[in-house]
Amino acid sequence: MTETRATREEQVLERIDRARQRKARVREEHITMAHGAGGKATQTLIEAVFLDAFRNPLLEPLEDGAVFGAGGARLAFTTDSYVVSPLFFPGGDIGDLAVNGTVNDLAVCGARPLYLSAGFVLEEGFPVEDLRRISASMARAAAAAEVSIVTGDTKVVQRGKADGCYVTTAGVGLVEGDVRLGVAHARPGDAVLVSGPIGEHGVTIMLARGELDIEADVTSDTAPLNGLVAALRAAVGGGVRCLRDATRGGVATILNEIARASGVAVVVEEDAVPVRPAVRGACELLGIDPLYVACEGRMVTVVAGDAAAPALAALRSHPLGEGAAIVGRVQDDPPGLVLLKTAFGGTRIVDVLVGDPLPRIC
């Protein structure tokens, strides 16, 4: 009987897999919040609308940025928009978030970030003093990441047509040496690392909204990762297969992208994943899994198995990687899936996030 059940389960899995391979299709008539949450709906929207319209070989891998040759050099190019609410939160604000986010997208492409643009959409009535604070914070973040903001744009819309201030940054960086990084490069035997405690930015924002009446000493982890990436590459160089900053959708979403793109399994040890007690406590209360909560200064790294120890040492020797840990390994079977060995001693899969993490109600 057990065997029949196992076989039937296998059939169901194949059925699901086939359903997932189908061409992405947006069924909704309107954009819903789920389309912006970084999970499956976002992915579907990107593939079915944007990729369909813009399709080209540079865009197609859907990495954090595009890498291309220009006049003998290899450049990385990326862009990101910021609509965070509240604009100011413990540990940062929309300004340093906008700079660090784009710097990080370039850094994880293996590029040295050079120049950024900054576009502002401002709502009528927005305090100039707040804009000064945001700009000062962007200037500090740019200096810390050793990049310059060299071009920009300003638009103002009527009151009620935007929520205070939105920022869009784009950035270019220089790819030096023979760097081949990507979510499709993981191989069986590789090790998976995270660069520090996860989930801090997401929890900070949730609590900063003041809707939850939960108080916890948590600050955003927003930080530029280019220095950390440089330290890692100096230590293990070609041993690095893939780098991703774990933003929307958290570490779990990145690991799923890696498993799917590389056709491998990622096995994660829940016990090994660094999560600060305040973040864990808040997540327990809210019924969400820290693996899905956004970070803004943490990256997921896949390195060759024999590079795991030096990679960990290199990350830990950098101030932004002190809390780094080896959290899992890559193996060949079952391809495309992320498995978790729970702290309790059980096993389960970790899927891509669907929409925003919803709180349990009882």
| Residue 294 to residue 306: CA distance in whole angstroms | 29
Segment (H or E) for 205: helix 200-208
Kindly give the pairing relationship between strand 111-123 and strand 148-157. Answer: parallel
Should residue 34 be labelled a site residue for another protein when binding is judged by CB under 8 A?
yes
By CB under 8 A, is residue 362 in contact with another protein?
yes
Tell me which residue has tokens 């900070």: 204
Identify which of residues 179 and 283 has a Cβ nearer to another protein in the complex: 283
Between 287 and 319, CB nearer to another protein = 287
What are the angstrom distances between the C-alpha of 154 and each of 98, 117, 167, 293, 297?
Answer: 15, 11, 10, 31, 27
Query: Using an 8 Å Cβ cutoff, are 236 and 310 in contact?
Result: yes
- Regarding 32 and contact with another protein (CB under 8 A), the answer is yes
Q: What are the residues whose beta carbons fall under 8 Å from the beta carbon of 202, sequence distance 6 or more?
A: 250, 293, 294, 295
**Between 309 and 349, whose beta carbon lies closer to another protein?**
349
Encoded amino acid at 4, one letter: T
**Smaller CB distance to another protein: residue 23 or 30?**
30
Which residues lie closer than 8 Å to 166 by C-beta, 6 or more apart? 81, 82, 83, 120, 121
**Residues written for the chain:** 362
**353, 40 in Cβ contact below 8 A?**
yes
With CB under 8 A, what is the number of residues at the site for another protein? 58
**Smallest gap, in angstroms, from Cβ of residue 37 to another protein?**
10
161 in contact with another protein (CB under 8 A): no
Q: Counting contacts by CB under 8 A, is residue 183 touching another protein?
A: no
Binding to another protein, residues 44-73 (CB under 8 A): 44
Q: Which of 53, 70, 234, 361 binds another protein (CB under 8 A)?
A: 361
- Which of 40, 74, 201, 260 binds another protein (CB under 8 A)? It is 40
Q: How far apart are CA 221 and CA 243, in angstroms?
A: 18
187 binds another protein (CB under 8 A): no
- The nearer residue to another protein, 310 or 336, going by C-beta atoms, is 336
Enumerate residues 327-346 that contact another protein by CB under 8 A. Answer: 331, 333-334, 337, 339-346
Residue range at the interface with another protein (CB under 8 A); choices 3-11, 82-90, 112-120, 134-142:
3-11
Does 282 interact with another protein (rule: CB under 8 A)?
no
Please report whether residue 209 would count as binding another protein according to CB under 8 A: no
Q: Is 355 in the site for another protein (CB under 8 A)?
A: yes
Specify the residue, 249 or 321, whose C-beta has the smaller distance to another protein: 249
The distance from CA 74 to its chain's CA centroid, rounded to whole angstroms, is: 23
Query: How many degrees, rounded to 5, is the angle at CA 104 between CA 41 and CA 229?
Result: 125
359 part of the interface to another protein, by CB under 8 A = yes
Determine how many CB atoms are found less than 10 A away from the CB of residue 238: 13
> Please, which contacts does 332-335 make with residues 24 or more away whose CB atoms are closer than 8 Å?
332/188, 332/264, 332/265, 333/265, 334/265, 335/259, 335/263, 335/264, 335/265
Which residues here bind another protein, judged by CB under 8 A?
Answer: 2, 5-6, 8-10, 12-13, 15-16, 18-19, 27-34, 39-41, 44, 211-212, 265, 267, 277, 280-281, 284, 287, 289, 331, 333-334, 337, 339-349, 351, 354-356, 358-362
